[in-house]
Amino acid sequence: MTTVQPVLQKKDYKTDQDVRWCPGCGDYSILNSVQGAFAKLGKQLHQTVVISGIGCSSRFPYYMETFGFHTIHGRAPAIATGVKVANPALDVWVVTGDGDAMSIGGNHFIHAMRRNVGLKILLFNNRIYGLTKGQFSPTSEQGKVTKSSPVGSVDYPFSPIALALGAGGTFVARGVDILGPHLEDLICRVDAHAGTGMIEIYQNCNIFNDGAYKHFTDKEVRDERVLMLQHGQPLLFGAQKDKGIAFDAQFRPMVVTGADLGKAYVWDETADTPAPAMALATMSEQDFPVPIGVFRRRTKATFEAGVQAQLAQQRQRKQESLHDLIHAGEIWQV
């Protein structure tokens, strides 16, 4: 007998909890995009899990009418890995922030990428520690004046995209909180990916880092400052698409115009090498437009599939005795 799954609307993913982010926070826009995407995808509440760490973004599970777990600082990918390996049929999402994922949780983040666990990671990046009231974070720009860097941070910032690419990420993308339809599309696309998918989401903290992205997100400058990545299309930007990005022999980016516009690189998110994606991820925001969209998409066997294959193999060998398993290796009696 086939069970008919209910058709859920966007409102069905909302809980009865008051959403307690600061008024005007970009997290509201992201929550709206996630709920909209989940409705489009027809996600079932009992099959979906949202797991978070610590930070403003990590209140997310309270506002999703799915299974959820608000865990500990930086450890959400580790706990989510356990959930996915224990029950691969579950749809597991990780919500984290730039402080949670790039600082104390950096090790868990890169190994989730390396292992290619079937998790979908939404990394909210506001370039500040918001929950602890305004200290510089691992993604804050150099020279950032904050409560913990009163004369400016001397740290070089992390690029979550570059870090994910370097760790072997198989789906790496970037969206922006205020570009809701585009973000919904990215969420739908990462959902279809087998393995670890990561979307960095530029998110405004209007209390402690207001306007961090306005130099390219404001409507007045957006056409000239945003590079929309489209698979199979040349890297063009500008209101008239009259500027492009090309690469030299060392994969250094350069802006091309006029007669050289035909040299604009044709984007391939499935490229064998991560070099083009890494070049875009590390471009200067001052000298080049800011890329958003899918940087890289590759197919690779998932971690949980490997674990399940090992379990199946052991069942075939019928090693059912706990005593035999315990005494199968080198042991010492004391």
Residue 42 within any structural domain of the chain: yes
The whole-number pLDDT of residue 296 equals: 98
Residue type, 19: V
Q: Within the chain, which residues score under 70 in pLDDT?
A: 1-2, 318-322
| Secondary structure E strands in the chain | 48-52, 67-70, 91-97, 119-125, 171-176, 197-202, 226-228, 236-237, 243-247, 253-257, 290-297
Please report the DSSP string for 250-276 in residue order. T--EEEEEGGGGGGSPBP-TT-SSSHH
For residue 162, being part of any structural domain is answered with yes
- What token pair was written down for 13? 């993913």
pLDDT at 256: 98
For Cα atoms 15, 74, 154, give the angle at the middle one, nearest 5 degrees: 120
Give the domain range for residue 139.
17-209+223-305
102 DSSP 8-state letter? I
pLDDT of residue 2: 64
Contacts 24+ apart (CB under 8 A), 1-5: 5/42, 5/44
Per the structure block, which two tokens stand in for 155?
């740290």
pLDDT at 318: 65
- Considering its fold, how many domains does the chain have in total? 1
Q: Could you tell me if residue 279 is inside a domain? A: yes
Give dist(CA 235, CA 222) in Å, integer.
15
pLDDT at 93: 98
Residue 316 lies in a domain: no
pTM above 0.75, yes or no: yes
At 320 the pLDDT is 59
Indicate if the alpha-carbon torsion angle 284, 287, 292, 294 is positive or negative.
negative
Q: Is residue 288 part of a domain?
A: yes
* Contact (CB, 8 A) for 118 and 195: yes
Take residue 260 and report the two structure tokens written for it: 């050289």
What 8-state DSSP symbol labels residue 101?
Answer: I
Closest CA to 183 of 312, 29, 10: 29
The C-alpha atoms of residue 25 and residue 207 are separated, in whole angstroms, by 8
HEC string for 161-227:
HHHHHHCCCCEEEEEECCCHHHHHHHHHHHHCCCCCEEEEEECCECCCECCCCHHHHCCCCHHHHEE
Residue 271 in domain: yes
Which among 91, 86, 109 has a CA at the least distance from the CA of 99?
A: 109
Q: Is residue 313 part of a domain?
A: no
Q: Is residue 105 part of a domain?
A: yes
> Closest Cα partner for 116 from 65, 37, 162, 172?
172
| Sheet strands side by side (includes 243-247) | 236-237, 243-247, 253-257
CATH number at residue 133: 3.40.50.970
pLDDT, position 333: 80
